[in-house]
Amino acid sequence: MELIDINTEDKTIMQHNSITSGRYDFSACMLDVLFMVLASLEKDKLVYTIHTGDIEAITGRNWNIEQLTKSTEAMLTKMFEIEDSKSYIQFVLFQYFKYLKGQRSIEVKLSEIALPYFFELKNNFTAMQLKSVLGCSSKYAKRLYGIACQWRSVGSKRFEITELKKMLGLIDKKGNEQYERISDFKKFVLDIAKDQINENTDIDFDYDLKKRGRSYHWVTLHFQNRQFKQLEFDFNNPINIDLSIEKQKFKSNIMAYGLTESQASIIIENTTLTQWDEIIKNLNNSVRQGKIKIDNSVAYLIGVLQNMGKLPRKSEK
């Protein structure tokens, strides 16, 4: 098993949108295990080895072995619930976890029923930075960061508060609800997530609450891709700029919106970073003003880029 390049801050992981927005209650430790597996995926491969030292090096936090074993035990019983217009499905993601003694390593086998949600991504996936999502210690920050990444090309996403709470595992099947008071929901979920996402990730995150009648009913999440810091030049001490590094950052910026590496390579050949930012800004403004409605943000962005000549259509390849 090849180790993850823990020195690569721009490591991108792909997660099926059904997992991003599915209803499940994973702890922060359980989510970190999931993200490490996502970072290791190889087509048609079922068994992976993850190393506790990798995540410790990325986050600076130690994995407690007792907490870890309890987390993986729970992952074998925690159900994912995914519903669409055709079906409602419950399943677990993994078949087993095997701890390799003396190696600080865990062997993981994917559940066969979950394979489509690992590999059959097409345009239906969320791209996230591994370092960003692992950098958040709150499970709610990790989940809301994923949701923000899914919708970042749109700029905002409105949920009924009850709907979002179910997604985050705050309302169980019996209707038992955590943080029922809106002040507690803000304090222990939204505000903590906002602080951690803004401090540790590539996204600027905010939210606002709206009432229906006298009670709060909707929450709108707002997110914007964080811009790379502009280079500052000291003309008294000229420096050499490694353009290949800046080009790679630009490519990672594009891929964060759900585009593939090959698509990003095409875009950067005939698009400047300023032009790219303008495209995203205009798209976000159109959505906020109600001029357009987007169901699949990645597919829509691809169509926009094709119309602008930034990406070839299938018939032009």
**Residue 246 pLDDT > 80, yes or no?**
no
List the alpha helices (DSSP H) in 21-167: 28-38, 52-59, 65-75, 115-119, 130-135, 139-150, 161-167
pTM of the entire structure? 0.64
d(CA 273, CA 63): 38
8-116 with 136-226: one CATH topology? Answer: yes
Q: What Å distances lie between residue 18 and 80, 82, 305, CA to CA?
A: 10, 6, 25
User: What are the helix and strand counts (H, E) for the chain?
Assistant: 14, 10
Span 144-172, average pLDDT: 90
Span 292-300, average pLDDT: 73
Q: Output the CA torsion 287→292→295→301 (10° steps).
A: -80
Q: Are 226 and 257 in contact, with CB atoms under 8 Å apart?
A: no
CA angle 48, 81, 25 (to 5 degrees): 75
Give 220-239 pLDDT, tens digit per residue. 999 887 653 333 333 344 43
C-beta atoms surrounding 1 within 10 Å: 13
Q: Of residues 239 and 159, which shows the higher confidence score?
A: 159
Which residues are 94's β-sheet partners?
A: 110
Of 138, 130, 140, nearest in space to 15 by CA: 130
**Residue 47 pLDDT > 90, yes or no?**
yes
Q: Are 310 and 267 in contact, with CB atoms under 8 Å apart?
A: yes
d(CA 307, CA 303): 6
| Range with the largest mean pLDDT of 3-7, 145-149, 288-292 | 145-149
Residue 23 is predicted with a pLDDT of: 79
Residue 188 is predicted with a pLDDT of: 95
For the chain, the structural domain boundaries read 8-116, 136-226, 243-316
Give 54-79 pLDDT, tens digit per residue. 777 777 777 778 888 999 999 998 88
Q: Collapse the DSSP code of 171 into the 3-class scheme (helix H, G, I; strand E, B; otherwise coil) and give the result.
A: strand
Check whether domain 8-116 has CATH 2.60.40.650, yes or no: no
In the chain, the N- to C-terminal Cα span, in Å, equals 35
Check whether domain 136-226 has CATH 1.10.10.10, yes or no: yes
Q: Are 203 and 149 in contact, with CB atoms under 8 Å apart?
A: yes
d(CA 204, CA 223): 5
**Residue 286 pLDDT > 80, yes or no?**
no
